[in-house]
Every structure is written in structure tokens, then in C-alpha cells.
A and B are shown apart, each in its own frame.
Chain A
């Protein structure tokens, strides 16, 4: 057989090829188990010894050339195709083999992300008890026990334990942190909180909050704005706008609620933001002097800010989850998406 002739023939046939199937047919004709190249290779021992070496080399060169041509042709056809199983060692169409990893709960994911952002800014992450005293949950935070401001903090009380309750917010950790250490102080506190709320798609009797507190000399409202801006841009993206609405919390003065421009409709107004174009994401303010006084801090010398956010709320906005109960159902089809 004349190798040059075969080579020319291949070139001619290759030029006519317009589809992957044709290319595969050509590949089988020449490179298949009973293909032309195999036949040539099989004929090597029959060649006389003087010419055998040269012939072998030529066959090999032809084979290499063929590989290159096929690959070029395949690229020019613009489609890559997994090699057919009978000719390859592994069928790459089969599922890959790997150790399946477990999934982090989306609430943990948000807590890790948010606390990570504040950690980078120098805040320390702390955790606190879920069973609290009336003092830490209310009076230490300037919330009178009998006042309409308590309505926002309906609380589970423990039976058999006088004045103990399930914390209704993470703010009691402000009281604990200030009792434990002197300023400067910069902390974030994630954790579970409890309120006897009727259960529906947006309310549950247990949820998560992240509390933040910073106390030092000369801390001012513009600092709170700056720190929250870093947080919002890191979690929701650089293009998100922010606004501060005056609000009332007994433990901060001035107090604000912070809105971000709706991440769904970009501020145009949709069902998620109630046509307002804004989404409320957290409450904040400068620490009330009465809170400092209770903590034994000199309110003339120190100032500070505090903020608190609902983790489920942030997760729902970020991931487009419309029912808070999904977080606690722990359906694997839900968990495995995070």
C-alpha cells in the first residue's frame, strides 16, 4: 500500500466532510480497530527487514498526522464531541465520581458572610445565652417594663424561673458586653431570638438576628452610616442605594431604620417592596445615654452606635425565598441549593 496515496486520499475525504457524523465515520474507517491504520500496522511484520523501519515510521507519522487533521477538522466544525465509548477508555458521559459534600444552612451562610464583613472591619464576633434576664432584655436597654414600646418585644417567659425569659432580640448582648469590658468595644453578635408571634409566611416564633455595637470616644452617626454602607454593598452589591428613616428604639437615640433600594425591581416598585421601591433591612442608632449609664459607662466621654438585623429577612431577600418556614423545614431539596 502506498502511504502517500492514502495520505492524499484522507486529505480529499476530509475536505468533503461537513458534519460530525461524517467525521466520526472517517475516524472509524482509518483509526477504528479494523481501520486502515490498524491494517497498515498489522502489515509491518510482513515488510522486508530493510524497509521495515522506514515503513513503520511512515505509518506512525500518518497516524499522528491523522490525529492532528481530525482534531483540526473537529474544531472547524465547531462542535466538540465526547469520544465514543468503544474506542475510549472512559465514557465521559457517565456521572463523575466524587465524595458528596454536605451543605451549609442558608441562615449559617448569611451569618458567616455578615459576621465576616464586620470581622474584617475589626469587629469581634461574640455569642450570648438564649435564656436572659428581664434586666438584660429590657431595663438595661432603657425599655420600661410597662410601656407601649414593649409591644414590639412580646416575649416568652419561663415557668418556674422568676424573671427569666427567652431573649426577644440579640440586644441583651450589648448589656453583657458592656458589663464585661470597658471601651473601646466593637462587636457583632449572631444568634437565635424568640417571640410569641402567630406563624405565617413572614413570622415565626423563633428566628435569627445579628447585633452590632461599637463604643469609643468620638464615635458619631456618620461612622454608623459608613460602616453600614460597607456592609450593604458587600452583601447586596455596589449599586444598591441606602436610606435612613428616623425611627424609635428605646436603646438608641437618634434611632433609624435602614432601607436599601429594592434589589428585585431596582427601586421602581414591585410586590416584594410593596410598590415602595425600598426594602427595610435593619434598625440602628446611636447608643442611648441611659444605656451607657446603666452599664456604668461615662456617657459624656464615650459615644457609640448599635444596629440589629433579621437574618431570615436578609436571606429571603438575597435568595428570593418567600416563606420563612422553609428555613426550618430542612427539606434536603431546599438545603442542597445553598
Chain B
């Protein structure tokens, strides 16, 4: 909404500088977003919230200025630069107005002005329109626009001689076949959702949105029909959306115009047009009701004070509301407030409390702190705990879009039914992702592109499934991506630690262990070499993926290996066992025996460890402590060192206690697994 400083002065004396006024308006809820000095006037651009159509006019803003500054609002036409206005003859019966449905159009009126001469507007009117970003056309069109800005009432002038009014004006829904070229020169296909103003032959205008090109006022126009009406706000909104057509008129009808002021504004406009164009006011016709039932809301001063935490008197409340155009009667602290017709937004007592608060000033309300009752404590936030584990493992947190394009699923050969979006703006918003992997792969690709060589990322977010036809499912997951290598500059020199499957295993293992989840296992999927199941005992919690080169290529990742994992967090957290129980440290010392041997590459170490573990007491633990594959070892073999830890919980073990079982272990290795001891 644009208003100017001088224009406001037509209706209220302002004793503040434009900048001070801008501040005051902002703090009263009319946010001044810019304030520009242009040729002797100051143009304010104000953001008006959708609940306040009464502020979509210079007069409405002036009313607010008067209330804020304690000035009197100057009423009546003498105040306006437009000068005094004529009287119009009483309604005639000669022409008809037919309103098909009063719900669409509660009130319609027109005034006919004959024998006019189309002239340019007076300079001060043209100037103000220009400041409001409107082009000056001629005195007729300009006056409808001027009064639209001044009063908030949209009006439209038709060239009377281009209308076939044998059956009068008809306000009706368009038919499926009708078309109309609007003033902007675009042909619009109409349909029964569109309300039109029509004569007996054709649609003339899209009601409340835009007039037709054929019937617009031109320099040749001699007689006009000036329409002033009120249209249903929801209907105008729908038409505006369907036609993708915004106009100053639609903007106001959609928010609601003041029906009570409509006849007066119509008369003002008609008489001013007649005056400036030497025309003669002729027939006036109206249809529909302009009566609005009086509405009253009771305001208890005590409630104002309780809601805001202030001490204000009934008298102060009354004076604020009166300044804003409310009529207030009060007995003691209870105010009977009559709501003016231009304040359809005020329905409840709280709406009046807001009015009092606005003018009283939110800055004058002193801060207090509420008493907050202790709530039931939330359970331990496992997500936050999980993130701490992942940070400590060197993984960086990412946040990627939940909306993705369908094609990225194809790229990754993922065959899942996604939840689709009905109204995406672009194909990047087609579906809700059924997997977290595509987002992570995009991050990997981006970072490779930026020449990053150590990429270790995770994201904790929801994925979405459409498996259930009644309700889509939201599933929180953890996604991990590893690519590249870690470079460790150690005392002995540089160690390049290239990310592999074992790094992924290490991360998952740590997560499981820290969450107290037993039975971690990662096993290859039988049908695919590039996919592994992450398990806790028999339960599947997620998968590890090694995308094939072609899949990575689709994400523009070339000559790199990427290791991905996705874990179901609901399942993971349901297994978490965060209760701790202290175990005392072992009482008796351990004896450690290492065995180094060479073994065939294709023999899984887990089998060896299991077999030795089975030897049982006093063997406490078996673990791999060294591993080598290279020069001194024949091809197809690897060197392993296994450490056996022996301990008794009854006494200190001796060498003899251990040597016999250690021998058994060696025999087991040689006999069952064909290893060669080193």
C-alpha cells in the first residue's frame, strides 16, 4: 500500500516529520518498508496485514495517524483536494440490475454520466497517482483510481454506448464457452467459476477483478456507466487464483471492502467525474442490500490488564477505541463497544485488547517471567547422543533436502514407491525421498568437485514411504557416507588411510557398542555383492551399500569408491540399552600368548577366532593384533598375529596352566585351518 505525506494531510494534521511518522506507524502495526522524498512529497510504502483491508486506503491510514498522534480526523469532502461534491438524483427505475446470486454480489449500483468530454486529469491528481505507481490515463479513469486509493472502494467505468442494456446489467456466472479480452489485452477463457458483469449480449468485465477491453473508456467516450459494487471475497480470491490475475480491485475485494461506505463513495466519484468532464449526472440504480447489522462487543478493562500485564483505566481504553472509530459506552470498567462497518476483523474481545495494546504501545508493557510448572522430564535424547558419537568418529553432519527428483532414484537403481508431491515448483521437488542415500551422494559429489579428499558425512533425518495406501510413513534414519582417505601425519611419517568397508564397520560397531546393543553383525546380501545387511542378532537394522561405478557416474562421481549406510533409527533406539552395571576389574593377572602364522586369503578370520574361542576356560579373549599382506608373504596368503588372553577368576595362572591349552590352539590352527606357523 502506498500513501503520501501530503495526501494524508488532506485528512489529518501531522505535526511529525515523515521519518517520525514512519516509526510511529511501524510500531502501530503498519510497517513502513520505505519512506522516499520525491518532489515536495514523501511516499510511504506500507506493508498491510491481510486482516486490515481498512488500511488499504489513504483515509484508513489517516484514521490511524489521527489515533496515534491524538489529532482529529478531518471528515467530509471539503478537506480533500478534490473539492466539494454534487448531489445525485434519487434512484431511477428505468434500467434494471439483475443479480443472479446475492451471495456472489451482495450489492451492485451504477450511475450514468452523460455528455461528458474526456480530458486529462488535473496536475495534482495525476501527480499523486504517479507517486502511487499508477499511470494517468484520463480524468474518468484517474478519478476511479484516485478514489480507490483514497477510500479503498474499487470502481469501474464502462463506455455506456458500447453496452446493450435492453435487459440492464446482469451479474452472473460465465458459461463454459464464453471469452473476454480484459483491459490488459489478454483473452481470458471463462467458465462457471467466474463471476462476470454482462449485458444482454456478452460479458463486460470479470467482477471485482478487471474490466473488458471492448467497453473501456477511451478519448472518444461520450457517456459512461460507473459501477460501484461489493463482491464475495472468497469468490474474488478464487477467480484471481484461477486466472492468475492480480489487480488493485481484486486485492481489496479479496480482503473485504466497507459496504456501508460504498454508496457515498459512488456518489463522490460520479459527481467528481461530472464536474471535471462537464458531464451530467443521469440515472442511478442500485440493487442488493447495503444494510449491515450493528455489532457490539463487550470489553472488560480488567481482562485487558490481565492479558497484557499492565494497569490501564477504562477511560484510557475508551479514548483509544474512540480514536480508532469505535463507539464506546461504559458503565464502570465494562465497555460496550460498537464495531464500525469497516472493522469486520474485530469479532471478539481479544481483538479489542489488541487494539488497545497497539495504541498503548507494546514497548510500554514491562517484562515479567511466568511460573513454569516442571514438566515430565523427557527421556534421554538418543539422537543427540548418537550425534556426539558420530562427531567423535570424525563424521561431519549434513542436512539435505527431503524433497528430491524421481530420476535420482532411477540413478541409484532404487525401486521404492515414493510419496509424490501434487504441486511441485520444479522437478527437484517431485517426491519425498524414500532413501537418505541420494542426498548424501550429492554431498559427496559436491565435495569431490571442491577437491576435498577426506569425505566422511552423516545425516539424521526422515525418509518417507508410500507403502501404506491410507497413510504415508515417516521413518527417521541415519545415513553415512565415506569417500576418499584420511591422511595421518604420524611420528613415523605419512600414513594414507583409504576409506573402506572396514571403516564403515568400525563406525557402526562403535555406534552399536556405545548404545549398548549386542550382537552386531554385518553380512553380505546373497543376491548382491554390493550390499550388506547390518544386524543386531537376527534383526535387520539397515544396509551398507557400495554403489557400482555406473551408479556413481550418474551422480557425477568418477573413479572413486563410496561407502554408504542407512540405519533405521526407530529400531536402533528401541534396542538401545543405556543402563550401566559396574563390573569390578579382574582380580588376578592375565597371561598373554601371541601366535603368528600365514593363512590362505580366502579363509575368514572370524572362523579361526570362533574355533579358538571355543577352547574355553581359562581362555578369556582372542583377538587379532597384527595383519600383513605383502612382499614377504606368498601370493594368496596373509600373515596374522592372534593374541590369546588367559585368566582365571580364582587364582593367578602359571605358565604350565597356559601352555597345554596354547598348544591345543596351535594344533587347531595347523590341523583345521592349514596355517603355517611363523
Contact = CB atoms under 8 A, between A and B. Distances in A.
Interface string A297-338: 000000100000000000000000000000111111101100
A131 interface: yes
B450 A102 contact: no
A146 B354 contact: no
Contacts of A103: 391, 396-397
Nearest to B425: A196
Interface stretch (B90-98, B304-312, B610-618): B304-312
A149 B50 contact: yes
Contact of B398 (A105, A166, A247): A105
Contacts of B384: 112
B370 A226 contact: yes
B52 interface: yes
A115 B400 CA distance: 21
Interface string A85-104: 00000000011010111111
In the complex, which of the residues B351, B397, B471 has the most CB atoms of chain A within 10 Å of its own CB atom?
Answer: B397
B343 interface: no
Given A158-B420, A221-B308, A246-B357, A186 B372 contact: yes
Given A216-B373, A218-B306, A220-B306, A101 B394 contact: yes
Given A104-B387, A122-B372, A149-B51, A157 B308 contact: no
A169 interface: no
A35 interface: no
A97 B490 contact: yes
Nearest to B395: A102
Contacts of A214: 370, 372
Contacts of A102: 390-397, 456, 458
A289 B348 contact: yes
A161 B419 contact: yes
Given A122-B372, A194-B403, A246 B29 contact: yes
A95 B489 contact: yes
B397 A335 contact: yes
Contacts of A146: 234, 237-238
B592 interface: no
Contacts of A331: 446-447, 450
A327 B394 CA distance: 20
A184 B397 CA distance: 36
Contacts of B393: 102
Interface string A198-223: 10000001100000001010111111
A210 B461 CA distance: 16
A244 B456 contact: no
B487 to A, nearest CB: 10
B70 interface: no
Contacts of A194: 402-403
Interface string B446-474: 11001010011110011010100101101
Contacts of A49: none
Contacts of B486: 100
Interface stretch (B171-179, B359-367, B558-566): B359-367
B255 interface: yes
Interface in B367-399: 367-376, 378, 381, 384, 387, 390-399
B394 A99 contact: yes
A88 to B, nearest CB: 13
Given A186-B372, A221-B365, A333-B450, A108 B397 contact: yes
Interface stretch (A18-26, A53-61, A249-257): A249-257
A254 B354 contact: yes
Contacts of A99: 392, 394
Contacts of B354: 246, 253-255
A196 B50 contact: no
Contacts of B234: 146-147
B307 A286 contact: yes
A102 B390 CA distance: 7
Nearest to A230: B369
B31 interface: yes
Contact of A220 (B307, B375, B403, B432): B307
Chain A contact residues: over half helix, strand or loop, or mixed?
A: mixed
B294 interface: no
Given A164-B472, A288-B350, A107 B399 contact: yes
Nearest to B420: A159
A243 interface: yes
B363 A226 contact: no
B200 to A, nearest CB: 32
A50 B462 CA distance: 85
A158 B450 contact: no
A122 B399 contact: no
A160 B420 contact: yes
A123 interface: yes
Interface string B31-55: 1010000000000000001111000
In the complex, which of the residues A103, A112, A152 has the most CB atoms of chain B within 10 Å of its own CB atom?
Answer: A103
A248 interface: yes
Nearest to B306: A220
A218 B371 CA distance: 10
Contacts of B49: 247-248
User: What size tier do the contact residues of chain B reach?
Assistant: 35 or more
A166 B472 CA distance: 11
A225 interface: yes
In the complex, which of the residues B376, B391, B423, B469 has the most CB atoms of chain A within 10 Å of its own CB atom?
Answer: B423
A105 B403 CA distance: 19
Interface in A23-62: none
Interface string A128-162: 01110000000000000011110110001111110
A186 B392 contact: no
In the complex, which of the residues B350, B351, B471 has the most CB atoms of chain A within 10 Å of its own CB atom?
Answer: B350
Contacts of B365: 221-222, 225, 244
Interface in B401-428: 401-403, 419-425
A244 B363 contact: yes
B308 A246 contact: no
B22 to A, nearest CB: 10
A229 B365 CA distance: 13
B398 A330 contact: yes
A105 to B, nearest CB: 4
A6 interface: no
Contact of B370 (A227, A248, A255): A227
Contacts of A164: 472
B351 A253 contact: yes
A121 interface: yes
B50 A222 contact: no
Interface in A148-196: 148-149, 151-152, 156-161, 164, 166, 184, 186, 192, 194, 196
Contacts of A105: 397-399
A102 B28 CA distance: 47
B401 A328 contact: yes
Nearest to B431: A159
A223 B370 contact: yes
Nearest to A145: B234
In the complex, which of the residues B234, B396, B443, B464 has the most CB atoms of chain A within 10 Å of its own CB atom?
Answer: B396
Contacts of A11: none
Contacts of B308: 220-222
Contact of B392 (A101, A152, A255): A101
A107 B474 CA distance: 21
A131 B450 contact: no
A124 interface: yes
A223 B371 CA distance: 9
Given A122-B372, A192-B402, A205-B425, A158 B472 contact: yes
20 contacts: A102-B393, A122-B375, A131-B464, A146-B238, A147-B50, A147-B234, A158-B422, A161-B419, A184-B372, A222-B310, A223-B369, A225-B367, A243-B27, A245-B27, A246-B28, A253-B354, A289-B348, A330-B398, A335-B396, A335-B398
Given A103-B391, A103-B396, 5 more contacts: A158-B420, A223-B369, A227-B369, A254-B350, A286-B307
Can you list the 8 inter-chain pairs with the closest CB atoms, starting with the nearest? Answer: A222-B309, A246-B29, A122-B372, A248-B49, A254-B354, A244-B362, A223-B370, A226-B367
